[in-house]
Structure 1
Amino acid sequence: MEHLVNQTIKDIEISGIRKFFNMVGDYEDIVSLTIGQPDFTTPEHIKEAAKQAIDRNYTTYTHNAGILPLRKAIADFSNRNYNLKYDAQSEVIVTVGASQAIDITLRTILSAGDEVILPGPVYPGYEPLIKLAGGKPVHIDTRDSGFKLTAASLSEHITPDTKCIILPYPSNPTGVTLTETELKEIADVLSEHEIFVIADEIYSELVYDNKHFSIASLSSMRDRVFLVNGLSKSHAMTGWRIGYLLGPANLMKHVLKVHQYNVSCATSISQHAALEALTEGKEDPIEMKEEYRKRRNYVMSRLDGMGIDYEVPGGAFYIFPKIELEGKSSFDTAVQLVEEAGLALVPGDAFSTFGQGHMRLSYAYDKATLKKGLDRLEQFMNRT
C-alpha cells in the first residue's frame, strides 16, 4: 500500500542533522558535537511549578491559544526584552514548540506554488514544512556576505510568486545574526511588496555581543510579521515543547484555526511550567548565556590555533567552520572525521548545498567534551 502514500511525504527525507547523529550512534568512543540541545537541566523552580500543576489538577484542555496568564507573560516578556507590543488575548498563541508555530503559520498563509525565501545555509526543518504546505523553497546564497541575508540579495530573488520570507536569526547553523541597520534595510525592500515575514527568533536570548533586535519591532513590518519564539533554548526546556507565536490579530485568528485542529492546545502542565519560567525565571537565561559565551570563545581560540576559517557567531550555540577535504563532500568528510578521529560534527550540506565545505559544531556541551573533541579535530587536521 506504500504506493498510495502522499508523494510529497515520500519525497521528504529525515533531517540531515538527525540522520548523521543516528548514524554515528553505533560507533564506539565517539565525541559528538552534533546536537543543538542545552546541556543545562531545567531550573528547579520551573520543574516544581510543573509538579504543583499536576497536584492542582491542571491537567485538562486549556484555551486553544493557551492559558491567558501565560499569554500575558509572553506579551510582557516580549515587550520588556524586545520592545514588542502584542495583545495577549488576540495576538499570542502558545504552541507545541517553535516548530509547530512555523508549521501552522506556513499552512495558514501558503497556497500551492507560493514561494518562500530562505537564506542558505539554513536549518533543514523549514523546507519540508514549506513543501507540505504546497509551497516552493527558494534559497539565497549567503556565503559571500558572511552568511547574512542582505537587502540587495533579497531584492534580486523576489518574484510575483514570493509569498513569504523566513528570517532565522540568530542562525542555525552559522550563529550569525543581523543588526538593526541590516534588518531595517531588509524591511525597506519588503515594504515595496506584499510579502509575509516569519521571524524565527528562538535563539534571541542567546546573543553575545549586541542586544537582539527584532524586525517585528519596526512599525512598517507590524502587519506582516509572524514572530516565532519559545523556551527550549532560553530556559533549557527542549522536552517541555513550549513555543509561541506572535502576530497581528487579523492574521492570528486564521492561524488559530489551524492550531486548533492540529493539536487543540499545548500541554497544560508544560504551560504552567512556562508561566513560571517567564515570570520567576527572568534571570535563568543569563547564567546559561555567559557559559555559552565562554565556550564560544574557547572554540574560536582553538579553531584559530588550527588555522580554520569561520564567521564569528553572534548568537545561538553553533559555529560553522570551513573544513573540507579535497574531492570530498561535506558528508564524506564528516564520515572520515568519525572513522579516523572519533569526532562527529554535522556536515554542512545538511543545511542546503550552500553549506558545502563546512561543518556545524555545537558548543552546547561542557568544556571537557569540547576540549576532547577539538583535540581530536586538531590531530585530524595535522594528519591530513
Structure 2
Amino acid sequence: NMYPNRLEGLDTRLTESILSWERRVNGVQYAPEEIIPTQGVAGAIRLAFPHIMEPGDELLLTDPTYIPYKRIGNTLGKATFFRTIEEEGWTPDIEDLRRKITPKTKALVIIHPQNPTGCLYDEKTLKAIADVAGEHGFPLISDEIYGLFTYEGARFHPLASVAGDVPVITMNSISKHYVATGWRIGHISIHDTGNMIGELKEKLRADRAVAGAIPTPLVYGAMAAYDGPTDHIRGMVERLKERRDLSHRRLNEIPGLSATKPQAAFFIFPKVDDGGPWRDDLEFTRDLKAETRLAVNPGSFYGEQYSVNHFRIPYLPGIDPLNRIFDKLEAFMKSRLG
C-alpha cells in the first residue's frame, strides 16, 4: 500500500526492466538516470511540457499531429504546424519545417509511427529532422508508442538511435503493445549525450510524483510486461495488416473519398474530396454521425491546414465489422453526392 519509491528496490527494479526493454526491443542504450516511469504517455506529456514551455513559447508540430500535443502547445504557449506531404505518404516537408522555426521555438514533436496517418518515417527523414533541431539548438520529443506495428517488413528506427548528439525525449507505453490502455503505464527515455538538457532532466526526475506515479500493484504488472516476450506482436500485425488493406481498398472505392495507405500503427486518414455539400470536415462528421451513427474525429482536430477535410478511422475492429462500417459510409456518400 506504499508508494513505489518507498518500497526498497521496487523503483530500481522497474527502471531495470525498462532499460532491458529499450535494449532488447528498440536497440537503444540508456543509463538508469535517463529513464522516468510515468502514467502512460499522457502522464509523460503532463510531466514534461510544463518544464519545456513558458507563455509565448512555440511548440513545433507536424500537420497533422496527435490531438493532445496540439492542445498542450496551445495551453502553454502556441502550437505551430509544418506541412506533411499527403501525396508522399504524409512525409514531413523539411523545408517548410525550416520556415516555421522562430526564436520562440522551444521543441519539436513527432509521433513516430504517426497518429492519425500511419506514416512511418525512414532513417533519412529522421536524420533530417534531427539536423534541423541541432542547427537551431532545441530538443526533439518523439512519441513512439506504435513502434512495433509496422507492415511489409518496414523497419522502425527510434529517433534517439539516429539523432547523434541532438537531445531526444522519447515517450512510450505498454498500452498498445500489450493491449493495456487502462493500466496507464509508460516511461520517458532521455537521450542527451552532450548534457544539453541536463537541467531539464533533473526537473523531470524531481517532479515525476506530481504527474502521478504508477500505482504500486501495477508496477509488478509493468515489470512483467517490460520483461516479457513480444512474440504476440507478429500475430497482431498480421491481423492489422489485413484490416489496413481492406480499409485502404474500401475507402478508395467510395465516391468522394481517397486515402493514402498507412505504413504503420492502426489508423487511416481519408480525405473528403472537393465537391460535397459540406462546408468543412466538422459538418461532414456531424452529418455522418446523424445519418449512420458512425462517429469519427474530423481532421481539423489534428492540425491547422493540411489535416483539414480529412477524418480518422482506427481499423481495429474485425473484418466483418469493418465491412459493415464501410457499407454504411459508402451508402452515405452516394446519397449525399447523388
User: What is the TM-score with the length of structure 2 in the denominator?
Assistant: 0.89
Q: Does the 8 A contact of 2:247 with 2:322 survive in 1?
A: yes
- Equivalent residue for 1:97, pick from 40, 45, 60: 40
Residue 227 of structure 2 aligns to a residue whose secondary structure is helix
CA contact (8 A) 1:92 1:246 kept: yes
Q: 1:342 to 1:184 in 2, by over 3 A?
A: same
Contact (CA 8 Å) 2:248, 2:260: kept in 1 or not? no
Contact 1:348 1:359 in 2 (8 A): yes
- Partner in structure 2 of residue 159 of structure 1: 102
The answer to whether 1:240 aligns with 2:183 is yes
1:258 Cα offset (Å): 2.2
- Distance in 1, matches of 2:242 and 2:225, equals 24
Task: Map Cα deviations across residues 290-343 of structure 1 (whole Å, 9 max, x no partner).
Answer: 211111111112123325321211111110011253442111111111222332
Counterpart pick for 2:271 among 304, 322, 336: 322
Q: Which residue of the partner structure matches residue 296 of structure 1?
A: 244
Contact in 2 for aligned 1:122/1:352 (Cα 8 Å) = yes
CA distance in 2 between counterparts of 1:261 and 1:381 reads 48
What is the aligned partner in structure 2 of residue 63 from structure 1? Answer: 5
Q: Structure 1 residue 197 and structure 2 residue 140: aligned?
A: yes
Per the alignment, residue 142 of structure 1 pairs with 84
Q: Is the 8 A contact 1:66 1:94 kept in 2?
A: no
Query: Which whole-Å CA distance do the structure 2 matches of 1:221 and 1:81 have between them?
Result: 22
Letter in 1 for 2:283: D
Pair 1:337 & 2:288 matched: yes
Corresponding position: 1:306 with 2:248: no
Q: Which residues in structure 2 correspond to 1:1-384 (within 5 Å)? A: 59-63=1-5, 67-87=11-31, 89-132=32-75, 134-143=76-85, 146-209=89-152, 210-218=154-162, 220-222=164-166, 224-247=167-190, 248=192, 250=198, 251-263=200-212, 265-306=213-254, 308-324=257-273, 325-354=276-305, 355-383=307-335, 384=337
| Greater mean alpha carbon deviation, residues 123-132 or residues 331-340 | 123-132
1:171-210 residue CA offsets vs partner (Å, 9 max, x unmatched): 1111112111111111222221210111011111112231
- Please state how far the C-alpha of 1:167 moved relative to its aligned partner: 0.8
Q: Which stretch has the larger CA shift, 306-315 or 61-70?
A: 61-70
Identity, % of aligned pairs? 29
Distance in 1 between residues matched to 2:329 and 2:206, nearest whole Å: 49
Contact 1:107–1:258 (CA under 8 A) maintained in structure 2: no
> C-alpha displacement at 1:135, in angstroms?
2.5
Structure 2: 5+ residue runs without aligned partners? none
How far apart, in 2, do the equivalents of 1:320 and 1:126 lie?
A: 18
| Cα distance, 1:287 vs structure 2 | 2.0
| TM-aligned CA deviation for residue 68 of structure 1 | 2.1
Summarize the Cα distance change of 1:218–1:256 in structure 2 as closer, same or farther, 3 Å threshold: same
Residues paired across the two proteins, number: 322
Distance of aligned partners of 1:66 and 1:131 in 2 relative to their CA distance in 1, 3 Å threshold: farther
Letter paired with 1:83: G
Q: Confirm or deny: 8 A CA contact 1:170 1:204 kept in the other structure.
A: yes
Conserved? CA contact 2:85–2:92, under 8 Å: no
Q: How far apart, in 2, do the equivalents of 1:261 and 1:371 lie? A: 45
| Deviation per residue, 1:268-293 (Å, 9 max, x gap) | 22221121112223223222222111
Shift of 1:366: 2.0
* Comparing 212-221 and 293-302, the one that deviates more: 212-221
The alpha-carbon distance between structure 1 residues 71 and 286, as it changes in their structure 2 partners (threshold 3 A), is farther
User: What is the rounded CA distance, in whole Å, between the counterparts of 1:221 and 1:236 in structure 2?
Assistant: 34
- 8 Å CA contact 1:95, 1:245 repeated in 2: yes
**Alpha-carbon distance in 1 for matches of 2:15, 2:2:** 17
CA-atom RMSD, angstroms?
A: 2.0
Structure with bigger RCO (C-alpha 8 Å, 6+ apart): 1
